[in-house]
A and B are shown apart, each in its own frame.
Chain A
């Protein structure tokens, strides 16, 4: 027993008692289960395990703190009506926004933030982290941290563009089919069936082999592969909207299809489409990573998280964390995006009631 262990247990037990005393149910359950878990962990894993529990709890508390202050910050700087929305946002949404904001900043200002160029070789391969290199070096001796920063720009940019393009194509076609119906709807449905029946990885492999692997084709091919999924969603959401009386009113007025889609259907289909956007965004990441696994990805020396995971993946067998960093970056962003999406969904569905 040393002071750390005694202090640790004293702290958790004291905190749970306090929570119980003040009848804070959730807080009590949380703290008390933490206490129980720590007992088990302490017995199984000893002091080291307790340290990791402490660090983990600290991390969570830290991110909660960051999320809270970021949310408050947004409340202060945003105009009135948006600030009102923000104030009711859950902490997870605040966290999501913070992460997205951070990524956006690092992506946009990558050349200023990154200490080295994305292709610049500065040291030997896999050099460990030091005061110059926060995360050490990669397999060519390039600064990992700089590449992560640049990767935010390249990977997120590519995934974002591809997802946006997929949504433009899929949503337009889906809403058009929903509002037109009939033969065209059927035809589009069949085309979508065909595209979706071909496994996406194989389809992209074929397409990319045919048209070559530059960023533009990559974006277009990914968009083509994901557009059918968006189409299906847009078609069904649009299908629910077109039966509304206001659509009938607009049709009877003699409005054209394009007006119907743009003014009447689209504004009422955004919520599920946005939710889908969050998920598709993740899947695009994964497809890009999978493609670079098969050797078709972003051109080097451009830093791309998917390829970075791939390039360093074998290291994981030796317990090195290098490949975890870009993978973590991907995971963190997708989690963040989905937090925000969840919040938006809650908000829009809440308005309806």
Chain B
């Protein structure tokens, strides 16, 4: 176990460096964007006069590296600054929205992960049958449809035509959990459709990959029934790649859902980030990107730890 802890510590250290590098990249990317925040805020109504005034007010007249160092200094003390546009603290702007994003991601993940693994096992069991082929075509189709399109189709059938679920996934803090789940069902389902296929295919592939191993043949020769061969003898050894794909998809559920948010008007963090980029609101862009990157890094780390924990060789050293 000591090994795992030292691995985690090392990876977290690397993660911090990665975050630092990302913050530099994001800062200068935002700097490089044509136009600046003053122009973005004032838009068509900008004149040389009020542009200069706003720039002075926001401190944009100082050199970029200095501004970055300022930001970094306060970020290290836990203060991510104020939004340049709304002047409210970044943490405030992001807090509830990130909570919402996490809620939706969890919702989708709770449905998608078990479903994907179950289906993956099923198609591995009935490999090369009609069922497998159909699942293959369906999942490929769902992978290859743009997610906003999937969203629109779901809205058409489940909201407009039948009225089963609300089309607008606007949630409030004072809603009950059931209300929230009902309201966010369609965006969650869209995301489920987007991620299930990938995870399911990976589960199937890793299982089938192991079917040629001698211990699987041994299990068959012991008279173990086909489903048990898959569930008991193959799946436990197939976890590592599956966990990695699951982690990748979980990261996607959190970081890649801008389009779903737009389609279902869900108050998540993705929309905030796109708005912030448009307005060149650097502190918000930076904070969002770092949250996303940290999510990605942590999930990857979790996946690696998961692979270690599911590997008996590493879990039970000699």
Do chains A and B stick together as partners? Answer: yes
A residues in contact (CB < 8 Å) with B: 26, 29-30, 92, 190, 193-194, 196-202, 205-207, 209-210, 279, 282, 285-286, 289-290, 293-294, 306, 309-310, 313-314, 316-317, 319, 323, 327, 330-331, 333-335, 338, 342, 353
Taken together as a complex, chains A and B put the C-alpha atoms of A314 and B152 apart, in Å, by 8
Q: Judge whether B46 is part of the interface by a CB distance below 8 angstroms.
A: no
Q: Let me know if B25 and A194 touch, CB within 8 A.
A: yes
Q: Judge whether B258 is part of the interface by a CB distance below 8 angstroms.
A: yes
| SS class, residues of chain A in contact with chain B | helix
Q: Let me know if B259 and A317 touch, CB within 8 A.
A: no
3 smallest CB-CB distances across A and B, nearest first, come from A334-B144, A197-B293, A199-B255
Inside 8 A of A342's CB, which chain B residues have their CB?
136
Q: Judge whether B69 is part of the interface by a CB distance below 8 angstroms.
A: no
* Number of B positions contacting A (CB below 8 A): 45
Taken together as a complex, chains A and B put the C-alpha atoms of A205 and B280 apart, in Å, by 12
Q: Let me know if A197 and B296 touch, CB within 8 A.
A: yes
Q: Judge whether B215 is part of the interface by a CB distance below 8 angstroms.
A: no
Taken together as a complex, chains A and B put the C-alpha atoms of A279 and B198 apart, in Å, by 10
Question: Quick one: which of A30, A199, A282, A310 contacts B130, CB cutoff 8 A?
Answer: A30
A-B contact pairs, 24 of them (CB 8 A): A26-B129, A194-B18, A194-B21, A196-B296, A197-B22, A198-B289, A202-B255, A202-B258, A206-B277, A209-B34, A210-B34, A286-B144, A290-B147, A290-B148, A290-B259, A293-B148, A314-B152, A316-B149, A316-B152, A317-B152, A327-B149, A330-B145, A334-B141, A338-B136
Taken together as a complex, chains A and B put the C-alpha atoms of A196 and B293 apart, in Å, by 8
Q: Judge whether B14 is part of the interface by a CB distance below 8 angstroms.
A: yes
- Known contacts: A313-B149, A353-B212. The answer to whether A199 contacts B256 by CB under 8 A is yes
B residues in contact (CB < 8 Å) with A: 14, 17-18, 21-22, 25-26, 29-30, 32-34, 129-130, 133, 136-137, 140-141, 143-149, 152-153, 155-156, 160, 212, 255-256, 258-259, 262, 273-274, 277, 289, 292-293, 296-297
Q: Let me know if B146 and A290 touch, CB within 8 A.
A: yes
Inside 8 A of B212's CB, which chain A residues have their CB?
353
Q: Let me know if B156 and A313 touch, CB within 8 A.
A: no
Inside 8 A of A206's CB, which chain B residues have their CB?
26, 29-30, 33, 277
Taken together as a complex, chains A and B put the C-alpha atoms of A301 and B91 apart, in Å, by 43
Distance from A206 Cβ to chain B, minimum over Cβ atoms (Å): 5
Distance from A264 Cβ to chain B, minimum over Cβ atoms (Å): 24
Q: Let me know if A201 and B256 touch, CB within 8 A.
A: yes
Question: Quick one: which of B29, B141, B273, B293 contacts A331, CB cutoff 8 A?
Answer: B141
Inside 8 A of B277's CB, which chain A residues have their CB?
202, 205-206, 209
Q: Let me know if A202 and B289 touch, CB within 8 A.
A: yes
Distance from A315 Cβ to chain B, minimum over Cβ atoms (Å): 9
The chain A residue sitting closest to B294, CB to CB, is A197
Inside 8 A of A193's CB, which chain B residues have their CB?
14, 18, 297
Q: Let me know if A198 and B22 touch, CB within 8 A.
A: yes
Distance from A329 Cβ to chain B, minimum over Cβ atoms (Å): 10
Inside 8 A of B130's CB, which chain A residues have their CB?
26, 29-30
Inside 8 A of A200's CB, which chain B residues have their CB?
256
Taken together as a complex, chains A and B put the C-alpha atoms of A290 and B18 apart, in Å, by 27
Q: Let me know if B292 and A202 touch, CB within 8 A.
A: yes
Taken together as a complex, chains A and B put the C-alpha atoms of A201 and B293 apart, in Å, by 13
Taken together as a complex, chains A and B put the C-alpha atoms of A310 and B151 apart, in Å, by 12
The chain A residue sitting closest to B201, CB to CB, is A279
Q: Let me know if A331 and B145 touch, CB within 8 A.
A: yes
Inside 8 A of B273's CB, which chain A residues have their CB?
202
The chain A residue sitting closest to B254, CB to CB, is A199
The chain B residue sitting closest to A285, CB to CB, is B144
Q: Let me know if B32 and A210 touch, CB within 8 A.
A: yes
Taken together as a complex, chains A and B put the C-alpha atoms of A323 and B210 apart, in Å, by 42
Question: Quick one: which of A30, A293, A316, A331 contacts B259, CB cutoff 8 A?
Answer: A293
Taken together as a complex, chains A and B put the C-alpha atoms of A279 and B153 apart, in Å, by 23
Q: Let me know if A334 and B25 touch, CB within 8 A.
A: no
Q: Let me know if A92 and B133 touch, CB within 8 A.
A: yes
Inside 8 A of B140's CB, which chain A residues have their CB?
282, 331, 334-335, 338
